[in-house]
Amino acid sequence: MTVYSGLGDLPLFNLDLEAGLPADVVRFHSNVAAADALLIASPEYAHGVTGTIKNALDWLVGFEGFAGIQVAVLNASPRAHHADDALRETLRTMAAAVVEEASVNLPLLGSHLDENGMIESAEIAGTIGDALATLDAAVLTLPPRRNTVYPGDINQRAEDG
């Protein structure tokens, strides 16, 4: 599993940039295209998803490496249903396959659990483990995506010489 830490590096979505995509967008696209599935979790800000998440999703609208990809949505604050609903609606609109059985609510708000605390919590670790196993099983029902090469993949082009 890879945690993609470059969402904050993406420029604000701008259709005018599509003719010559910035390197950070190409890197993001190639990581998505190479992924078997995506796990997305967004805090709720003013009843919506964060601008960072929405901006990242906007860069994936119409991107062929995203269409049909299986996605699990993790909601770390069960009271925050607006962002969760909005995220699912956006993903459905973008032709992602939301795997409902792997999309779970985690009662983390106010728990002050760090990563180790989550691992030590039987409830939280169990819920996440079950969600990952369910997503894995859903992925195995489809042909592998791993070998997908996005034409804009700078790393692949470098390897190809």
Ligand X SMILES: Cc1cc2nc3c(=O)[nH]c(=O)nc-3n(C[C@H](O)[C@H](O)[C@H](O)COP(=O)(O)O)c2cc1C
Q: Name, in order, each residue with C-beta under 8 angstroms of 48's C-beta and a sequence gap of 6 or more.
A: 54, 82, 83, 86
* CB atoms closer than 10 angstroms to residue 118: 17
d(CA 36, CA 25): 19
CB of 81 to ligand X, least distance (A): 8
Is residue 136 a contact partner of residue 13, using CB atoms and an 8 Å limit?
no
Among 17, 18, 23, 47, binds ligand X (CB under 6 A): 47
Q: Which is nearer to ligand X, 112 or 146 (CB)?
A: 112
> Interior CA angle at 58 toward 4 and 155, to 5°?
45
Instruction: Using the minimum distance from each CB to ligand X, give the nearer residue, 45 or 150.
Output: 45
Query: Can you tell me which of 3, 46, 140, 158 binds ligand X, judged by CB under 6 A?
Result: 46
The residue range among 40-48, 94-102, 118-126, 141-149 that interacts with ligand X, by the rule CB under 6 A, is 40-48
Report phi then psi at 151, rounded to 5.
-55, -25
Residues pairing with 37 in the sheet: 70
Q: Is 86 in the site for ligand X (CB under 6 A)?
A: no
150 interacts with ligand X by CB under 6 A: no
77 contributes a contact to ligand X by CB under 6 A: yes
Is 122 a binding residue for ligand X by CB under 6 A? The answer is: no
**Under rule CB under 6 A, residue 105 binds ligand X:** no
**Structure token digits, residue 39:** 């796990």
Residue 118 in the binding site for ligand X (CB under 6 A): no
Residues that bind ligand X (CB under 6 A): 43-47, 77, 79-80, 109
